[in-house]
Amino acid sequence: MTTVTATVLLGTTCLGAAAGLVGTWAVLRRRALTGDLISHAALPGLCAAFWLSGERNYAWMMCGAMVSGLLSVLLVTFLSRQARIHHDAALGIVLSVFFALGIVFLSFIQRSASLGDKSAGLLNFSLGQAANLGSSDVLWIGGVGLAALAIILVCYKEFTAFSFDPEYARALGLPILRLDLLMMGCLAAVAVVGIKGVGVLLSPALLIIPAATARFWTERLAVMLILAALFGAAAGGLGTLLTAGDWHAPADWPWLARFERLPTGPVIVLAAAFGFGLSILIAPQRGLLGQQWRQFSLRQRIARENLLRALFELQENQPATANTYLSEEALMATRAWRPVDLRRLLRAAVARRDLEPTGQGFRFSAQGWQNAVNITRAHRLWELYLISGANIAQDHVDRDADGVEHLLPPELLDELEADLRVAGRWPADAAPLPHSPHELSVTLSGLGSAPRAGEPPSRDSQLPAEAVASRGEQ
């Protein structure tokens, strides 16, 4: 790897890390597009500084860019408070008008006799030229990055309070306006030093994407800051390495050679976007796949529990509790099942050893019996609670409880039972669980049941198995 590449690599990595750090606050405060605003609005300041100073003095140009960037932020705040306009429209107006002003300045500079020839590099503002980052640029990036890091470390507590709850921060007596300016100043400084590397148009990408990516992986601010910095640095490094061809022999990785002609800035952004896309899919808590999986398993569990309760209630009032043979046909009437789903659920229940297939139908296993008792107990406790605690009519509680029963934690159920006992509303004959407070829509009354030895607790069974079989044929 040549020194040039190493310099560029250092610059883009530092830039990515710094952008991730300061971008985190902007993303958390729902001000992500402020980075976009600042980097567009930096243009007139950049050009004006160049025009006034008459030379390509980097420091002056950065200061000019900072000033006009911050001015644009203040202007947007002022407009959205005073001018009967929404924040986003104010942002769009200031962004585009400042940018237009910058282009007007730029055309003056380009066509001015004394400045025109010095302005060559100024034209690459839109996409930047990462490959041309020199050691002084890297020093600037590093300096600004370190300064931003120092400010974040010193003001960490204040920034945190301010970002999550500005009203609370105000009540604490924190200097809101100065904190806001400081935060925006950090953002502006990083956006401005990033312009040379990735350009006006893509500098906001580095501020937003790593921070938005980090948000997928953690719920803790400190971790998010570190992750955002890492993701930003990784994107910067990856983009640079992909587009710099001089660190590997082309023969080793022919596919890498394809990237060499590509502009570095956009590739850095695409690397960051790739990380974002990956995170949105696979992040454990907030990722889409994880969410889908959790929703899927919740739906599965709810369906399973519904099946168990339906089975339980079907044969509850039978003399032979828990030993009835249960058929699909009887189950169909209890809920709006689709036959396909019901058959699938029954198969799954058998596979989980909640049910045991018999020749004519199904019956509970010991474990399935316990599960069914638990879920029915949750349902009825909630129903009783709604009736006694919330004064809801008996015939209205079934649906409410149907939605909630799957989510009630066991401690809450025990508490409910204790409360009901204290209030004297626990039915005397409730063992192991109270009877339904309302009429069950479908019961197996008149249907058959068969004896089964041992667990679960069984009573006598009177009806012969043929009754069940004949039921199955109906």
Partner 1 sequence: MNGFSLLFQDAWQWWIFVVAALTCVACGTLGSFLVLRRMSLMGDAISHAVLPGLVLAFVFTGSLHGGVMLAGAFVAGLITTWLIQTLERSGTVAADAGMGVVFTSLFALGVVLIAIFTQGKVDLDVDCVLQGSLSTITIQTVSILGWDIPRAAVTLGGALLANLAFIILFWKELQVSSFDAGFAAALGLRPNVLHYLLMAMTAMTAVAAFEAVGSILVIAMLIVPGATAQLLTDRLKVLVPAAGLIGLLTAFCGVKLSLTPPFNQAEPAALAAVCAGGIYALTVLFAPHYGIAVRWWERSAQALRILCEDLLAMFYRIEELAPSKRIGTGEALQALGGGWLAWMAVWSLRRRNQINFTEGGWQLTTTGRQSAKHLIRSHRLWESWLVRYLGLPPDHVHAPAERMEHFIGGQLAEQLRAEVGELQQDPHGKAIPQ
Tell me which residues touch partner 1 (CB under 8 A): 27, 30-33, 35-36, 40, 79, 82-86, 88-89, 91-93, 95-97, 99-101, 103-104, 107-108, 111, 126-127, 201-202, 204-205, 208-209, 211-212, 215-216, 261-263, 265-267, 269-270, 272-273, 276, 280, 286-288, 291
Nearest residue to 319 (alpha-carbon basis) of 153, 446, 182: 446
In whole angstroms, how close is the CB of 42 to partner 1 at the nearest point?
13
Which segments of 218-263 does DSSP mark as H helices, in order? 221-243, 254-257
CA-based angle 181:186:194, to the nearest 5? 140
Nearest residue to 236 (alpha-carbon basis) of 199, 268, 259: 268
Contact status, residue 441 vs residue 334, Cβ threshold 8 Å: yes
The structure tokens 């023969």 sit at 251
**Integer CA distances (angstroms), 252 to 5, 248, 249, 255, in order:** 19, 7, 6, 9
Beta bridge partners of 355: 364
In whole angstroms, how close is the CB of 429 to partner 1 at the nearest point?
47
Helices then strands, each counted (H, E), the chain: 18, 2
In whole angstroms, how close is the CB of 168 to partner 1 at the nearest point?
20
Nearest residue to 365 (alpha-carbon basis) of 375, 356, 373, 357: 356
| Closest CB to partner 1 among residues 235, 308 | 235
Both structure tokens of 214: 């980090």
Q: Which amino acid is at 154?
A: V
Nearest residue to 364 (alpha-carbon basis) of 310, 295, 289, 415: 310
In whole angstroms, how close is the CB of 104 to partner 1 at the nearest point?
4
Q: Give the C-alpha separation, 91 to 112, whole Å.
A: 31
In whole angstroms, how close is the CB of 184 to partner 1 at the nearest point?
15
Nearest residue to 108 (alpha-carbon basis) of 154, 183, 50: 50
| Closest CB to partner 1 among residues 106, 372 | 106
DSSP state of 363: E
| Closest CB to partner 1 among residues 154, 262 | 262
| Closest CB to partner 1 among residues 97, 442 | 97
| Closest CB to partner 1 among residues 43, 408 | 43
Contact status, residue 315 vs residue 444, Cβ threshold 8 Å: yes
Q: Give the C-alpha separation, 181 to 186, whole Å.
A: 9
In whole angstroms, how close is the CB of 112 to partner 1 at the nearest point?
8
In whole angstroms, how close is the CB of 204 to partner 1 at the nearest point?
6
| Closest CB to partner 1 among residues 89, 146 | 89
Q: Give the C-alpha separation, 243 to 238, whole Å.
A: 9
| Closest CB to partner 1 among residues 261, 399 | 261
In whole angstroms, how close is the CB of 28 to partner 1 at the nearest point?
8
| Closest CB to partner 1 among residues 250, 357 | 250
Which residues, 6+ apart, have CB-to-CB distance to 379 below 8 Å? 309, 401, 402, 405
| Closest CB to partner 1 among residues 211, 310 | 211
In whole angstroms, how close is the CB of 203 to partner 1 at the nearest point?
9
| Closest CB to partner 1 among residues 82, 114 | 82
In whole angstroms, how close is the CB of 177 to partner 1 at the nearest point?
20
In whole angstroms, how close is the CB of 231 to partner 1 at the nearest point?
12
Q: What SS3 state is found at 326? A: strand
Q: What SS3 state is found at 191? A: helix
Q: What is the DSSP string of 62-121?
A: HHHHHHHHHHHHHHHHHHHHHSS--HHHHHHHHHHHHHHHHHHHHHHHHH-TTTGGGGGG
| Closest CB to partner 1 among residues 140, 276 | 276
